[in-house]
Amino acid sequence: MDAIFPFLTPTTLTLALLIAVFGGFVKGVVGFAMPLVIISGLTTFIAPEYALAGLIVPTLVANTVQSLRQGVGAAWQSIKAFRVFLAVGGIALVASAQMVRIVPVETLQLLIGVPVMVFVLIQLLGVTLRLSGQSAAVEAVIGAIAGFIGGLSGVWGPPTVMYLTALETPKQDQMRIQGVIYSGGALALFGAHLGSGVLRAETLPFSLALLPPALFGMWLGGRVSDRIDQKIFRRSTLIVLLFAGANLVRRALF
């Protein structure tokens, strides 16, 4: 075990696999939040750098599947429509990703925990924005914020969801667009952290190991999504994430 995952014990590996299943399950039910669940869960017992490496491959594959659900043509139209968001977000993500290995663990915990708490509170309080249409300037700002946070934490979903909701994007379109944006971000994250050294011979097998349980959880979540109250489930998940974010902040400060 130590030869394969030197930063894990059999117990923590089992916990990591279960967290991946739960993260996939949440994504299958509500369409997002898998990286939030995985990074928040894993950082309770391994260093943020390893947790970030772990979520990269599952996030890339899961979101690629989501983006292509309505076909390549529809995905390409989404890429063209949100090219400013993707371009600016990708640049910000690659830039911030280079900071991961030089930033102290406590700072990384804060940089992950605080945004998680803020975004979860925004969701729980039902704060919404309204935009009459796409704006290149607004899109660039939100893309930059999402990319900067994503490069450090692997989490760029909440700003994306807020922006698409503000545009009152139809649900089916929003799911596809989220998949396109997230898979584009995950691809940039993959490349950026090959360069930063976060994703390397020591950590890539761990990320690959989390892929099957994450996809299984996603499949399971999709199967049961119509049978459970999604609002209650989503709210419960957000509350769990709020406590996870608060725990990261506590560990960073105390």
What would the pLDDT profile of 237-253 be if each residue is shown by its tens digit?
788 778 878 888 888 88
Most confident of 9-18, 177-186, 222-231: 9-18
Name the pTM for this structure: 0.80
Is 116 a residue whose pLDDT tops 60? yes
- Residue 241, pLDDT score: 76
Burial readout 213-247 (b: 16 or more C-beta within 10 A, e: otherwise) = bbbbbbebbeeeeeeeeeeebbeebbebbbebbee
Site of tokens 């989390």:
210
pLDDT band at 3 (very low <50, low <70, confident <90, very high): low
Distance CA 235, CA 239 (A): 6
Distance CA 37, CA 162 (A): 18
Burial of 80 (0-12, 13-18, 19+ CB in 10 A): exposed
Question: Do 245 and 116 form a contact (C-beta atoms < 8 A)?
Answer: yes
- Residue 120, pLDDT score: 84
Q: Minimal CA–CA distance to 156: which of 126, 186, 187, 195?
A: 186
Between these two residues, 131 and 55, which has the higher pLDDT value?
A: 55
- Residue 208, pLDDT score: 96
> How do residues 205-234 score in pLDDT, each as one tens digit?
999 999 999 999 999 988 887 787 867 877
